[in-house]
Amino acid sequence: MIALRARARARIAPERSQYAAAGLLWALAAALVVFLALPLAAILGKALSGDDGHFAGLAQFVAIAGGERFWSAVSNSLAVSVTTTLIVLPLAYVFAAALTRTRMPAKPLFRALALIPLLAPSLLPGIALVYLFGNQGVLKGWFPDGSIYGFSGIVIAEVFFTFPHALMILVTALSVADARLYEAATALGAGRIRRFLTVTLPAARYGLISSALVVFTLVIVDFGAPKVIGGQYNVLAVEAYKQVIGQQNFPKGAVIGVLLLLPAVLGFVIDHLLQKRQRALLTARAQPLVVKPNVWVDGLGVLACTLIGAAMLLILGTAVAAAFIKLWPYNLTPTLAHFDFDNMDGGGWAAFFNSVKLALATALFGTLTVFGGAYLAEKTPVAPVARQLVRMLAILPMAVPGLVLGLGYIFFFNDPANPLHFLYGSMTVLVLCSIAHFYTTANLTATTALKQLDAEFEAVAASLKVPFWTTLWRVTLPVCLPAMLDIARFYFVSAMCTVSAVIFLYTPDTVLASVAVLNMDDAGDTAAAAAMATLIVAVSALVCLVFSLTAWWLGRKTQAWRTR
């Protein structure tokens, strides 16, 4: 009691403007609890309850562990995830090394090529593979007897899907290098291989581990690719989907969801611990490495990047081509017939416009929420409990696969006893779920941008008796504008492509483009699915272009201070 009172006395009365900040912080903390923590609690609760809805402890886990079907799904999931990781990592490493450690030409082009998969849902590579190596595929000889449907198909699709994620981490890891270490190694007589083993690899090892964890997690929780190209090859993510959507067996779906949460959380924790050590690795006195031109190395870089980039383009190009071709591979006349979505099952053009609506709303409200939250958590001294809560909840979505979040949303919002039940099935819940799903990455971008601002801006403003929102409007927002555009673009593209969380939440009125791809493919309209996937890529690419131009234009108008 005494200690409490002493602490209360030792506080400075908040400025009036700060009451507003405290209110907003608590509102955000509450929103994150309701739209993130509680759905996750709901999935745990559901996993621990029996078929009758009462608490049953681990009975569901025991029941599911008895099934042979479950164990084959587990081993299939692990096999696919490990194989994909083992293939993606060397490829992404070579690509990243070529981008950062050679003087090869056309780096921006290669970089853009490698990031293409980010613009597409994970269903797209699956569809492309059907056209390339499937029963009617042009190259079906490469995978005879439909062997593309299953393990190999899933792995190739996942390699395409996860490549840019691994690449981005490795590029970051490889772009920081201490030239002094290389000079020291060379002076001590170390050759190329020894330098690679003793200098390059140790510096990049955290990046390698981190990207391996990301790839593994992405693959094990993804169900887009296995749904399309997996055939009879059953994996955990698809199993969860089938249990919930197909058989309405919610507890069983919840149990698989909880199990899928495990590798994600584990990877997240390992990554977090490693990042702490990574920071200590780089010293402020490091000299940047200047790469010298080398015909052989640069040539090899171009060759490797061309091969990988060509494979990316082949997959994307196949899907796009299939969308415009009458009947692959028999009748190659161009047609727009596959875009006549309204005469097909899956949701029609409404699905496409719903997706655009969802993406716009997510980009707008997501950016505002994330940036506002990061700002309040970083830059205001009020409501320490709420600030801590916001920070903790903000990193949670990184460890939660979309599939799990989606399941949590059904369990939570579909409960008639929930006062928020009215949200179920609405566009609003899709927007909220998408904002929550991609919160961590967006929040990281915002926090990084905010941390680059002098910590004393707010103190100076207070001494000049200027309320915090004036500084926010006149200084913080203009300086962080590029980061905000980045967040908005990220939210738009992610909301456009996502399948995993929203697949459980859409209704006939709110069906989305990515869901339509899945449904049309299910119904056998593969060409229409390809057409819709193509549209998604086109819109994502267009929006990226628009954002880049906006950023460039705004940069010229408002960022003049950055040039000396």
Partner 1 sequence: MNRDWQQTSGTVADALRIERVAKRFGAFTALDGVSLSVKKGEFLCLLGPSGCGKTTLLRIIAGLEAASDGALFMTAGESERNVTRLPASQRDYGIVFQSYALFPNLTVAQNIAYGLKGRREDKALRVTELLALIGLPGAGSKYPAQLSGGQQQRIALARALATSPSLLLLDEPLSALDARVREHLRREIKALQQKLGVTTIMVTHDQEEALTMADRVVVMNHGVVEQIGTPEDIYARPASRFVAGFVGQSNWLAATSAGVGQVLLGDALLGATVTPPRPDGHPLELFIRPEDVQLHANWSPAEAQVANTALAHVRKIELLGGFYRIALSVPGWGSQPLLADVSRGEFERLNLSPERLVPVSLPANRLRAFVPAGAASAGATA
**Phi and psi of 512, rounded to 5°?**
-115, 165
| Contact status: 559 vs partner 1 (CB under 8 A) | yes
Q: What is the size of the binding site for partner 1 (CB under 8 A)?
A: 30
| Contact status: 461 vs partner 1 (CB under 8 A) | yes
Q: Are 116 and 312 in contact (CB under 8 A)?
A: yes
CA distance 105 to 554: 29
The encoded tokens of residue 119 equal: 């613009």
Q: Which is nearer to partner 1, 54 or 465 (CB)?
A: 465
| Contact status: 296 vs partner 1 (CB under 8 A) | no
Token pair 């593979």 is at which residue?
129
Interface residue with partner 1, options 269, 459, 542, 546 (CB under 8 A): 459
Exposed/middle/buried for 274, CB within 10 Å: 0-12, 13-18, 19+? middle
DSSP, res 33: I
Stretch that binds partner 1, among 157-165, 220-228, 417-425, 462-470 (CB under 8 A): 462-470
| Contact status: 561 vs partner 1 (CB under 8 A) | yes
CA distance 227 to 115: 23
Q: Which is nearer to partner 1, 105 or 478 (CB)?
A: 478
Q: How far is the CB of 81 from partner 1 (least distance, A)?
A: 44
Q: How far is the CB of 25 from partner 1 (least distance, A)?
A: 17
The encoded tokens of residue 204 equal: 């990049």
| Contact status: 460 vs partner 1 (CB under 8 A) | yes
Distance of CA 81 to the CA centre of its chain: 17
Interface residue with partner 1, options 79, 360, 457, 541 (CB under 8 A): 457
Q: Are 164 and 117 in contact (CB under 8 A)?
A: yes
Interface residue with partner 1, options 1, 3, 13, 295 (CB under 8 A): 13
Interface residue with partner 1, options 78, 466, 551, 554 (CB under 8 A): 466
User: How many Å from the N-terminal Cα to the C-terminal Cα in the chain?
Assistant: 56
The encoded tokens of residue 445 equal: 């971008």
CA distance 373 to 376: 5
Q: How far is the CB of 535 from partner 1 (least distance, A)?
A: 39
Interface residue with partner 1, options 475, 541, 551, 554 (CB under 8 A): 475
Q: Which of residues 435-454 bind partner 1 (CB under 8 A)?
A: 454
Stretch that binds partner 1, among 126-134, 269-277, 460-468, 543-551 (CB under 8 A): 460-468
| Contact status: 279 vs partner 1 (CB under 8 A) | no
Q: How far is the CB of 375 from partner 1 (least distance, A)?
A: 16
The encoded tokens of residue 186 equal: 């060379």
Q: How far is the CB of 479 from partner 1 (least distance, A)?
A: 5
Q: Are 215 and 84 in contact (CB under 8 A)?
A: yes
Interface residue with partner 1, options 2, 3, 11, 419 (CB under 8 A): 11
**Phi and psi of 83, rounded to 5°?**
-60, -45
Cβ atoms within 10 A of the Cβ of 204, count? 23
Stretch that binds partner 1, among 62-70, 241-249, 516-524, 556-564 (CB under 8 A): 556-564
Q: Which is nearer to partner 1, 292 or 557 (CB)?
A: 557
| Contact status: 560 vs partner 1 (CB under 8 A) | yes
Give whole-number Cα distances, 430 to 355, 356, 406, 435, in Å. 10, 12, 9, 9
**Contacting residues toward partner 1, per CB under 8 A:** 6, 10-15, 18, 454, 456-457, 459-467, 474-475, 478-479, 558-562, 564
